[in-house]
Amino acid sequence: MRSLKIRRRARPEALSPDERRLALGVRTIADLIAPASAQIGRDHIRLDYHYCRALAVHGYPRTVAPGWLSPLIDFEAPLELSLHVHPLETAEMVRALTHKLVQLHSSRLLAAKDGRLADPEREVAYEDTEHLRDALQRGEEKVFSVGLYILVRAPSLSALDDLTRRVEIALDSMLALSRVCIFEQDSGLRSCQPQGFDQLLVTRNLDTSSLATTFPFSSSTLSMDSGVLYGIARHNHSPVIFDPFDSSLENANAVVFAKSGAGKSYFTKLMALRNLLAGVDFIIIDPEDEYRRVCEAVGGQYMRLSSTSSHHLNPFDLPPAEPGEETRDPLAEQVGEILRLLEVMLADKDRGLSAHERAVLDRAIYTAYSQAGITADPATHDRPVPLMRDLAAVLDGWPGDVAADLAVRLRRFVDGSLAGLFSGPTNVALDRRLVVFNLQRLEDELQPVGIHLITSFVWNQVRRARKPRLLIIDEAWKLMQFAEGGAFIASLARRARKYYLGLLTITQDVSDFLNSDHGRTVLTNASIKLLMKQDSSTIEPVVKAFQLSEDERQFLLASGKGEGLFFARGSHVALRVEASPAEHRLATTAPQELYANATAAEPAAVAAS
């Protein structure tokens, strides 16, 4: 018989005094996470400077739906939920259930013998036990011992009591029963730690189907693995982290609907500041001079456009040639863009240009290019392009009432009071990460023209180098009120994704935007939508367009500044925009705060001088 040698594990050598002292000076994980002190009370524990309390759930509702714990997961305050699951042996459970059936059946027979009515609770228990035993015997179910514990934390004892009451009310509404772990708070705290040790042992036996409705935990959130902070979800206080260029989205387009003063521009500034750090470039059309401080803070490019400005944008600039598109005609494409611009410039608000007028303008534009030596031949596209005054000169030299009428209407944009915007070649270069076009000093009748001109110019520029960009059009309704302006934005919304561009349209005139075919096209092609505070006169079109519930309708009517509904990826959450103090100083437009900041800066400037 061969003998087996048992190899004994070598005992660790004792540490020397120096090694022991060295080990005491090394920080461990316990040193990093353990509290400095713990005071265990009757119904709470004080850890350092905050209080915590453990609750055990001992009663469960008879019937539940999947996700029935969502009121706790999405609770208004942070909670720590611990679910302990221990599988039980099926054969032993069958024997125990069989014995329980015998007891229940004996009680039924005794009640019938004495002439008493059947007990409803006993009948339900008998049916449930029989059904579970049969499912266990067929292998369809298993039985688990489940313990559910809740740990709440608060900065003070009174706040802890208030939070405990709110948790108990939430459990009552779910038809679940709980109790505070009296003289067991130490065990309750340990049972809610990640080690997975159940020291309370307040359990309930659940079958597989019932346990499946409890686990895994899930919460309605729109956060992504990458991106920047857009706000805080109101229902569970979780951060909404979003990347507009994520591959799960159809495009990076977004729309923001809100009344004046609701915080739509505030949200946009925060989004721009944070996405700049993530590598996204921004081009902003600013009609109210709200983005200047943000632009200066990040070293952006700031351009003020008006009839007397030194900055010019020439609509006759040809788009760049794109590789792999030899059949494309850049000249014909730009002629179409100029026609759309002239539609905004020359047409009446209620009536567009006639087909005859468009034909005359189309031929005149080609003639102006031809006189500059530019034809359909790509070799001529590097020559200097004509200006708006060259087009007016062509119309002036043609006979006919239509050409003369168009020349008269165009003359005020060439030689009149509105000539500054088109008086010279383009002298603007998009060479910064953030570019702001300020239209505050631009005349009202020129603002739609300026917006159209800028977006057309930007559209040509983004095709030169494809990188993540967002084009923000604030007060987009000013351009949407013109048919051609709306058509241009709608076309931009459809084509932007191809060129790594996202279009963000902001408007407070919601009804006009949604009643327009082009406005609905922009909305349909937006993967991200934000609805902020609405007025009672504009809420109904929003409710109809977004199919809002009555609670959501009331939320938009009563929401505070910086609050709204955030839509993306087929779902939506109530969002609250949060900013750091430094971000707030750059993004706020509140007159009181701006005055206070300016007043505080004056003594510092005097002292520095």
CATH assignment at residue 363: 1.10.8.730
Which residue shows structure tokens 């934000």? Answer: 530
The predicted structure's pLDDT at residue 7: 47
Name which of 65, 57, 63, 51 is nearest 83 in CA terms: 57
Task: Let me know whether 384 and 411 are in one domain.
Answer: yes
82 bridge partner residues:
149
Task: Let me know whether 515 and 541 are in one domain.
Answer: yes
- Return d(Cα 107, Cα 109) in angstroms, integer: 5
**Which residues in the chain land under pLDDT 50?**
1-10, 606
Interhelix angle 483-495/517-524, nearest 10 degrees: 20
The predicted structure's pLDDT at residue 191: 92
Task: Let me know whether 412 and 552 are in one domain.
Answer: no
Name which of 431, 428, 425, 477 is nearest 454 in CA terms: 428
CB 4: neighbour CB atoms within 10 A? 6
Residue 10 resides in a domain: no
Name which of 309, 316, 421, 433 is nearest 365 in CA terms: 316
The predicted structure's pLDDT at residue 4: 41
566 neighbors 240 (Cβ within 8 angstroms): yes
- Return d(Cα 220, Cα 249) in angstroms, integer: 18
Domain boundary among 212, 235, 265: 212
Task: Let me know whether 303 and 346 are in one domain.
Answer: no
Residue 155 resides in a domain: yes
Half-sphere exposure of 146 (CA within 13 A, CB side): 22
Name which of 427, 410, 429, 408 is nearest 419 in CA terms: 410
Please list, in sequence order, all residues whose beta carbon lies within 8 angstroms of the beta carbon of residue 560, skipping any fewer than 6 positions away.
533
Give all strands of the β-sheet with 501-507 in edge-to-edge order.
Answer: 239-242, 228-233, 571-576, 563-568, 528-532, 254-257, 501-507, 469-473, 281-286, 434-438, 301-304
Task: Let me know whether 473 and 368 are in one domain.
Answer: no
Measured at the CA of 503, the angle between CA 258 and CA 528, to 5 degrees, comes to 60
Task: Output phi, psi for 35, to 5 deg.
Answer: -70, 160
The predicted structure's pLDDT at residue 2: 42
Domain that holds residue 336: 330-427
Interhelix angle 401-411/330-346, nearest 10 degrees: 80
The predicted structure's pLDDT at residue 173: 87
Q: How far is CA 121 from CA 36, 64, 70, 124, in A?
A: 51, 18, 29, 5
Task: Let me know whether 381 and 347 are in one domain.
Answer: yes
Domain boundary among 427, 456, 490: 427
- Return d(Cα 507, Cα 260) in angstroms, integer: 9
Residue 529 resides in a domain: yes
Q: How far is CA 491 from CA 261, 350, 459, in A?
A: 29, 21, 11
Residue-wise DSSP of 297-342: HTT-EEEE-STT-S----TTPPPPP-TT-TT--HHHHHHHHHHHHH
Domain boundary among 427, 453, 471: 427
Name which of 19, 487, 558, 568 is nearest 256 in CA terms: 568
The predicted structure's pLDDT at residue 336: 87
Task: Let me know whether 346 and 397 are in one domain.
Answer: yes
Task: Let me know whether 438 and 550 are in one domain.
Answer: yes
Please list, in sequence order, all residues whose beta carbon lies within 8 angstroms of the beta carbon of residue 129, skipping any fewer than 6 positions away.
97, 100, 101, 104
Task: Let me know whether 452 and 551 are in one domain.
Answer: yes
Please tell me the chain's helix, strand, coil percentages from 3-state DSSP, rounded to the nearest 5: 45, 15, 40
What's the structural domain count of the chain?
Answer: 4
Residue 371 resides in a domain: yes
Q: What is the 3 state secondary structure string of 1-27?
A: CCCCCCCCCCCCCCCCHHHHHHHHCCC
Would you call 130 exposed, middle or buried from its count of C-beta atoms within 10 A (0-12, 13-18, 19+)?
middle
312 neighbors 429 (Cβ within 8 angstroms): no
Which residue shows structure tokens 């701006």? Answer: 594
The predicted structure's pLDDT at residue 6: 44
20 neighbors 13 (Cβ within 8 angstroms): no
Which residue shows structure tokens 């946009």? Answer: 268
Q: How far is CA 264 from CA 96, 235, 240, 486, 582, in A?
A: 63, 21, 17, 21, 18
pTM recorded for the entire structure = 0.65
151 bridge partner residues:
54, 80
Task: Let me know whether 538 and 458 are in one domain.
Answer: yes
Task: Let me know whether 188 and 303 are in one domain.
Answer: no
414 neighbors 389 (Cβ within 8 angstroms): yes
Residue 243 resides in a domain: no
Task: Let me know whether 290 and 373 are in one domain.
Answer: no
- Return d(Cα 30, Cα 134) in angstroms, integer: 49
